[in-house]
Each structure stands twice: as structure tokens, then as C-alpha cells.
Amino acid sequence: MFEGFTIDDIDVGPAHVHVRHAGEGPAVLLLHGHPRTGSTWHAVAPALVDAGFTVVVPDLRGYGKSHGPAPTADHSAHSKRAVAGDMVRVMDALCHDRFAVVGHDRGSYVGFRLALDHEERVERAVLMDCIPISEHLHRADARFATAWWHWFFYAQPEVPERVINADPDGWYAGDARTMGAENHAEWREAMRNPDVVRAMLEDYRAGLTVDRQHEEQDRANGRRLRMPVLVLWSLRDDLEDLYGDPVAIWRDWADTVSGHGIDSGHHVAEEAPDALVASLIPFLRREP
């Protein structure tokens, strides 16, 4: 995987971020979701390099080979604001003043926070398979709670760690044929690490507490995304089934939004990388 990419471990203060990077041209930051690592982008990242971009692929704080601080009682150590700060410092270390961000799943929430808190750095944002956390929770009903029950299970103290670490292979299903052998091996190593499992759970605990509070404060203060935003979603996942057109929801949070679905299951970077790259390149090439 990632032939020709440089691998670094960057000290960003409260965390050490494992990152792959390569290419020349406009910078693009790729942020993975749960329970993946940066290797989920193994087919997408080289294609973007070939298209003329500089591509930066980190493991998020506590995921994969990135190491963060110990969890805090208020979960702020794993808030999207804290992780977005990591990403700014990574891009500083790699000398990228302005860049596009592409996030999937939990990485989309980091990308959203990054674009809100550091809008002077983010030229454009791609948010995949998500709506704001607070929008999910404001709409939460029995259907959502049944389909997305893991949000509330992961938020419980201690119990999820005991359940998952007892049989991580059984809990996290992954197919090497779909994921690719090397990506699957990297992911499998990560999810067998209890420290990684704890960090992933803290990501969800932060989502239902401090991250939601930050979003609600943003809404009350009228903060919006000012850069162009592309919203993508997996047609064989349930986001559109639950909420209708995700673009309509994001228009309450961003000035300029476009988007469409991709024929894929949830892990689109692995299942439909060509279609994803075909959607990303025209958007990323537009002038700011």
C-alpha cells in the first residue's frame, strides 16, 4: 500500500500522529472513519496523487498508530475540536497553509469541526456519510436508535471495552477481499489493541457530550461553513433512508453545498474507490 508515500510520526503536542503523505500540487487531507485507520484510503490516495494533488493521510488521534492523551472525564481529550487541532498542526509540520479536507464517517465530524474552527485554512470540504451530530440527535427516534444503537452502547462507561476486547475479531467484521489484504491486516492489528478500542469509544462518548455542545453553540451563534462543501453518501447505507436528501440538511450549516449518492456500502473508499475519486477530483480542482 501507499507506494512512494513518506511515513512520519508527527508530535503535535498532546498527541503523536502517524501520517502518510505524497505528491505535488494542492494539498488534500483525508480523514478516515470508525473503525478504520488511514489505510482505508489505500486506493483513493494514490489516485489523487496521480491527478496532481499532495495527499496527507493521518490516523486520527488514538486510532491506528496515532497516540493521544489519556481519556478525560468530560471526554474533551477526544473531542472533534481537539482532533481537528491535531490536523492543523500536522499540516503546519508538512508546510501546508491551505488545504482541502475530505472526511468519512467519524472523520467527517473532524473535518466539519476543522472547517468551522479553522476556516482560514480550509479551502473546501468533502463530508461523506454524515450529517452533524446534533442533527442526528435532534431527529433521534426509535428507528434511529435501532439502526444506530452502537452510538449509545459505545457511550456507556467501561462495558463496551469489556465486550469488544473479549473478542475483537468477532465484534468488528472485515473482509480482506473487499478491504485489500494489507489494509485488512493493518485494521485488524489496530482493533486488537485495547488502547485503540478505548480511544475509538471515547470518540463516540465525546460525540454525545462535548461535540454536541460545540455544535449547538455554533448554531446559536450563527456559525456556518463559508467554503464550498461537497456532501457524498453511500446509497447502500441508510443515511438517505433515515433523513431524505442529506444536502438539504447541510444547507442549514453551509453557504454553498452540492452532493450526491454513490452506489456503495458504507466503506466507500474501499468498496467504490473509482467512483469516489471521480466525484472528488472535479470538486477539488475548482478554484476557491
Query: Looking at the annotation, which residues are catalytic?
Result: 105, 266
Nearest residue to 267 via CA among 124, 133, 105, 158: 105
Distances (CA, A) of 96 to 26, 121, 257, 278: 9, 9, 24, 24
In angstroms, the CA 84 to CA 109 distance is 9
CB 270 within 8 A of CB 40: yes
Cα-based torsion angle of the residue sequence 10, 98, 115, 113 in order, rounded to the nearest 10 degrees: 10
Could you please report the per-residue DSSP string of 210-229?
Answer: IIHHHHHHHHHTT--EEEEE
CB 4 within 8 A of CB 32: no
